[in-house]
Structure 1
Amino acid sequence: MNRIFIILVCVCFLSFRAETVFSPQIKKEVISTLHAQVIRQADSALLLEPVTVTASRASRSAGGIHDFYSEGDYWWPDPAHVDSPYVQRDGLTNPDNFVAHREAMIRFSRVIGSLASAYTITKDEKYARQIIRHCNAWFTDTATRMNPSLLFAQAIKGRATGRGIGIIDTIQLMEVVKGLMAIQFSKAMDKTSWSFFQQWFSAYIQWLETHPYGKAELEAKNNHGTCWVMQVAVFAQFTNNKRVLDFCKDRFKSKLLPEQMAADGSFPLELRRTKPYGYSIFNLDAMTTICQVLSTPKDDLWSFTLPDGRNMKKGIDFLYPFIKDKSKWTFQQDVMYWNNWPVAQPFLVFGTARFNNKQWLQTWKALDHSPEEAEVIRNLPVRNPLIWL
């Protein structure tokens, strides 16, 4: 019975998993670059206990103990009226906001990413067992699990108990999903656990598609709309949801690329922000991740080109010179975290896999692969390229 299950899962998995394939040489270079760091981080992760949303509760949250809660980053108390609704200061993060749930989810993502990367290299079952332990805490254990919805994310005191833009917080779950896929056929994984994990993400996809918050975020014109498609594509791949995968492909072609990229390959909506450099990098990372996940030989999003010539290679060609040498940046400097970018951006390694541009790979190899600034980590959801290969 178990052999039949594994065969069926293999067939289904291979039917829906369609990603840009890394050449053996590029894969070898990526592994060589990250090997020592991966093992070190994974061995540390073996010692960590699961921490989920139930470990902390925000007094301002309108949700329950199993509900993820976060607060709008750029919203602050009104100095003239202390008890009045918060006021916006775009680009400036309020350090007194509740971030415990966001930190727990990022920690979860980093733990799973490290463990899965180590498993990819070593095939040591101890890493797989720890992944399942943490995922059980987040998705199946009734005492500690998170509800598969985001009703109370990016709340604003006195204005909103939650907002659709908070959905961007769950891009951290992408590497959790990729980590589970990396250990799918390990001895540690059983069909019951796999089914529970798929059910959680199926429920979350349904919420993202049907709730007004999810619908609003899908229609966002900037990186928020990109990140809806990016994470939903990964979750749909995990749950074998072909309908949603096809929708995400169409969304990239009909909305994201034509409405966000300018003729020169830049993203004007990001360049208008108070952190144009960081947001431009973030959106390009997200766009290329979509291409990495959804491209097939018959439907290659990397090569999809609009009638006026806009495509993903043009996007990389625009931003790459400013990654290689930030001093060449001709736009406004970011109001915060200017000195923390760039790091080992995934668009460099994903782009190399598709276009075999070794210069991009060499730049990626030379950048920081283990940043510690919280804002950088938060906006770098692809931190473990080994599990995306």
Structure 2
Amino acid sequence: MLLPLDFDLAAHERPRVVHLAEAVLSTEPRSITSAVNSRSAGGRNDFSSEGDYWWPDPKDAHAPYVQRDGLTNPDNFVAHRQLLLGFARDFGALAAAYKLTGDERFAAAAVRQAHVWFVDPTTRMNPHLLYSQAIKGRSTGRSIGVIDTVHLAEVALGIEALRGSKALMKDEEAALMAWFRDYLKWISTHPYGVDESKAENNHGTCWALQAAAFAHLVKDDGALADCRRRFKEILLPNQMAPDGSFPREMARTKPYGYAIFNLDVMTGLAAVLSSEDENLMTWSLPDGRSLVRGVEFLAPYLANKSTWPKKPDVMYWDNWPVRQPALIFGALATGRQDWLETWKRLEPDPQIEEIRRNLPIRNPVLWVNLK
């Protein structure tokens, strides 16, 4: 079924996005320097987080933490992650509103937010993740911590949308480009980033999404070409089963949420990497595996969760699905009206923090028509 010819993503999203942007116009930006993790080995400007599924050893309170997969420890340090989520949400809304309306108020507010996070030396986040996903008694930081900045992918595309605005002065744009260029180099060369790029599950997908979005922003054609190669030769063939599912995600204690998350991120990656000559949403391996097949597998369960063939997720089962970007990217690529209708009726702006954390693509207008 083809999409109705009069469907306009920008027109559909404009009321929601402008409403969100109006609400944060006067919000004072708060970077990671406004919260301190006393257990972190890093400094004031260093992002810090602790592994979600790690808990005190019930046999010895002084022993290193032990893992309980899928069960989040509420006592771990998450303030920096919350601040990043809040920034990405507010900045994304402002940048999307500017793209949709051309209203300079939104651009000015967005640039003010970005300045605090990436430019001002007293508040900026250092462009690395040496102290992310730490585990008490085991590690001061880990490679899987690179996933904590997956929300910066949409921020990078939002900065692109601000080009041409009066607010994004040349010096400011140059400073922002320098930060993202440095961070792209870090995730591409530091052992943490290199290890994460080799992950065979959603962590590898999230690394590629970040690398692609950052490379797109700073116009690094070599890095973009490498991301396309990874998508075609590593991510899709090594992660997707013949039926379009992701077996490694389906084997987790939260298979529904993880399957959704990985598909969303991989379709976002395709949106960034596609060109006028090649649509990676519809591109397929010789055996027919493609992101379209991935959406075909998951879409029925997004439309009717009661048909999900596995046990409910151990946490947050009741909170999924929301307005998953895989549905709109799939609909735009194939003309599937049923996917569009499912996307339209789902919640676009979830309030549960864990769901927000696993929804790094909130403004699809920033991801389409990239040049």
Interval containing the TM-score (normalised by the shorter chain):
over 0.9
**Aligned pair partner of 1:226 in 205, 225, 249:** 205
After TM superposition, the score normalised by the length of structure 1 is 0.92
Measured after TM superposition, the shift of residue 176 of structure 1 is: 1.3
Number of the residue aligned with 1:336: 315
Equivalences for residues 1-389 of structure 1 within 5 A: 25-26=6-7, 28=8, 30-389=9-368
* 2-structure distance, mates of 1:298, 1:274: 40
**Is the Cα contact below 8 Å between 1:112 and 1:175 reproduced in 2?**
no
Q: How many residues align?
A: 366
* 2-structure distance, mates of 1:146, 1:296: 32
Measured after TM superposition, the shift of residue 121 of structure 1 is: 2.3
The superposition leaves residues 351-387 of structure 1 with CA deviations (integer Å, 9 ceiling, x where unpaired) of: 1111121211111000001100000000000011122
Measured after TM superposition, the shift of residue 23 of structure 1 is: 10
Q: Any gaps of 5 or more consecutive residues in structure 1?
A: 1-21
- How well do the aligned residues superpose, as a CA RMSD in angstroms? 1.3
SS for the counterpart of 1:130 is helix
Measured after TM superposition, the shift of residue 24 of structure 1 is: 7.8
Measured after TM superposition, the shift of residue 32 of structure 1 is: 4.0
SS for the counterpart of 1:362 is helix
Sequence identity, in percent?
51
* 2-structure distance, mates of 1:23, 1:293: 24
Measured after TM superposition, the shift of residue 347 of structure 1 is: 0.6
Q: Which amino acid aligns with 1:343?
A: V
* 2-structure distance, mates of 1:110, 1:254: 32
Q: Which amino acid aligns with 2:244?
A: G
* 2-structure distance, mates of 1:121, 1:162: 39
Change in 2 beyond 3 A, CA 1:23/1:146: farther
Q: Which amino acid aligns with 1:225?
A: G
Change in 2 beyond 3 A, CA 1:93/1:388: same
The superposition leaves residues 155-185 of structure 1 with CA deviations (integer Å, 9 ceiling, x where unpaired) of: 0000000001010011111121121111111
* 2-structure distance, mates of 1:170, 1:301: 24
* 2-structure distance, mates of 1:31, 1:325: 27
Q: Which amino acid aligns with 2:269?
A: I
Measured after TM superposition, the shift of residue 297 of structure 1 is: 3.0
SS for the counterpart of 2:275 is coil
* 1-structure distance, mates of 2:314, 2:213: 32
**Is the Cα contact below 8 Å between 2:154 and 2:213 reproduced in 1?**
no
Number of the residue aligned with 1:8: none
The superposition leaves residues 296-340 of structure 1 with CA deviations (integer Å, 9 ceiling, x where unpaired) of: 133332232212111111111011110111011001210000000
* 2-structure distance, mates of 1:25, 1:369: 21
Measured after TM superposition, the shift of residue 118 of structure 1 is: 1.5
SS for the counterpart of 2:287 is coil
* 2-structure distance, mates of 1:23, 1:145: 45
**Is the Cα contact below 8 Å between 2:268 and 2:367 reproduced in 1?**
no
Q: Which amino acid aligns with 1:166?
A: G
* 2-structure distance, mates of 1:385, 1:107: 18
Q: Any gaps of 5 or more consecutive residues in structure 2?
A: none
SS for the counterpart of 2:75 is coil
Q: Which amino acid aligns with 1:242?
A: D
Measured after TM superposition, the shift of residue 127 of structure 1 is: 0.6
The superposition leaves residues 80-116 of structure 1 with CA deviations (integer Å, 9 ceiling, x where unpaired) of: 2112111100000000111110001001100111111
The superposition leaves residues 206-258 of structure 1 with CA deviations (integer Å, 9 ceiling, x where unpaired) of: 11111110011001010000110011100000000000000000000010011
* 2-structure distance, mates of 1:262, 1:387: 30
Number of the residue aligned with 1:3: none
**Is the Cα contact below 8 Å between 1:125 and 1:187 reproduced in 2?**
yes
* 1-structure distance, mates of 2:183, 2:162: 22
